[in-house]
Structure 1
Amino acid sequence: MTIELITFDLDDTLWDTAPVIASAEAVLRQWLTDNAPNLGGLPVEHLFSIREQVLREEPGLKHRISALRRRVLFRALQDAGYDQWQASGLADQAFETFLHARHQLEIFPEVQPTLEILANHFALGVVTNGNADVRRLGLADYFKFALCAEDIGIAKPDARLFHEALQRGGATAQTAVHIGDHPGDDIAGAQQAGLRAVWFNPTGKPWDADHAPDAEIRSLTELPGLLAGWHGQR
């Protein structure tokens, strides 16, 4: 095969996500304590309840996680007695506080050297369901495009997100490879769209889904050799 486009998942593929999200949530709670005292000790259960209500009213927000988080904060602030103008302003500031903290993450050390090698041979893109921004992380120069589910309201494993990535990358499914950690969202989603899929599995978990990935790697440093073996393969 001729490889023209390599697409990457972000969360838990280029960095560990759980620690940074936990930290960002803590930063958000402290900000709300300091700047929106009417909220008091807001129970997490109340936020979940608001989230479910918002999604019932606006199901289109399901894959627009930034807009959804803003809306939940806005509703919580209104419930705490802030008027619409105050709640809107505080929700925007609170979300930006969270988003800034969400980007204070540690990129795996092998990421940039690997991207540097691959970018010299292939077009690279991002396909993510999250709201991390490669521009904030100093990675944008490696990628031809970054496609977030939030941009079009469609999330992996929906094949349409991968089809959009192919269009933006100027490639066909037969000349594209996707790398990600999630068996459903990344591997099944990419394969259903016709791409080859590489499972990033650093901890060596057993594969327990129906259709096996086209390849499995423990480290991103394995990618250049793997792709070189595929490139030009008949």
Structure 2
Amino acid sequence: MGEKRSCGKGIFFDVDDTLYDHLQPLREALRDVLGTGGEFPYEEVYHRFRYYSDMLSASHGAVNAQGAERDLQDMRVKRAQLALAEFGVHVTDPEAARIQQQYLERQFRITPFPGVMDLISDLQAAGHVVGLITNGPERHQMAKIKALAMDAAIPSERIFISGAVGYDKPDPRLFAFVNERTGTKASQSYYVGDSWRNDVVGALEAGWTAVWFNHRRVEPESEHQPHYTAGSYRELAELLLA
């Protein structure tokens, strides 16, 4: 059973690189495994790393579901190899696996971007339904949500992890599932996320209002048009609280 229909908007946030700096654990993993220095183009590599993560996940299908651990690990190794190869760095399967392991371990030592908690609190006080929608295995993503203390800010029934639901972003069925469970309507639902493929395209194809959190100032990957673009939590607050 879903919640009763809300009079406010449904406003849902992505987690990785939307609520916290997802580049930091990758930067530390690359430094540890490959010995990359301060001049290494970490942000550019991160963008391609996320691009290949989304692309390979889509090609595998339901890579975050229970029982798909081998596909998930294969995707994680290949995304590192493909991203780094674009910058002239070629890593073996064992090296890519080590990067992945270090990257995962550092994802639990994270803090929210400044302004995250205040915005969530203000949106809730204004009567909106506020929640999270994130891709990934349930246990892994929930550990990050707890590390960010988001489990204390957002009710568990408004936290949606693709590995538990059975659909990965950008599948519109995931967004429809969220509407059903939270009593919200697609026409009154907003999704805030950094990923072009998963968050912008996913929200648009589900009939939601897409808010692209483009704080890394990257270029669009297709002809889709997000309804809004913001580069900081100050800009997000001005938009969502208007």
TM-score of Structure 1 vs Structure 2, range by shorter chain: 0.5 to 0.7
Question: Which of 112, 124, 134 is the aligned partner of 2:117?
Answer: 112
Distance 1:69 1:116 in 2: 39
Measured against aligned partners, the alpha-carbon deviations of 1:81-132 in whole angstroms (never above 9, x if no partner) come to xxxxxxxxxxxxxxx9986642111321221122121121211111111342
Q: Cα distance 1:97–1:200, how it changes in 2: closer, same or farther (>3 A)?
A: closer
Q: Deviations over 1:110-157 (max 9, x none)?
A: 211221211212111111113422233211233241111110231100
What's the offset of the Cα at 1:197?
Answer: 0.6
Report the counterpart of residue 140 of structure 1 in structure 2: 151
Distance 2:104 2:141 in 1: 8
Alignment of 1:16-31 (within 5 A): 16-21=21-26, 23=28
Greater Cα radius of gyration, structure 1 or 2:
1
Amino acid at match of 2:149: G
Scaled by the length of structure 2, the TM-score of the pair is 0.62
User: How many residues are paired up?
Assistant: 178
Pick from 162, 165, 190 the counterpart of residue 178 of structure 2: 165
Matched letter for residue 138 of structure 1: A
Cα 1:196–1:20 shift into 2, 3 Å: same
* RMSD (Å) for aligned C-alpha atoms: 3.3
Q: Find the aligned partners of 1:188 and 1:70 in 2 and give their Cα distance.
A: 24
Task: Supply the distance in 1 between the matched residues of 2:217 and 2:159 (Cα, whole angstroms).
Answer: 28
The counterpart of 1:176, out of the listed 181, 184, 189, is: 189
Q: Distance in 2 between matches of 1:184 and 1:3?
A: 27
User: 1:167, 1:127 → 2: CA distance?
Assistant: 14
In 2, Cα distance between equivalents of 1:183 and 1:97: 26
1:132 corresponds to which letter in structure 2? Q
Distance in structure 1 (CA, Å) of the matches to 2:159 and 2:119: 17
Which amino acid is the alignment partner of residue 141 of structure 1? Answer: A
Shift of residue 224 of structure 1? 2.8
For 2:103 and 2:68, locate their aligned partners in 1 and report how far apart those are by CA, in whole Å. 13
Percent sequence identity is 29
Stretches of structure 2 lacking an aligned partner (at least 5 in a row): 1-6, 34-56, 75-100
Unaligned runs of 5+ in 1: 30-54, 74-95, 230-234
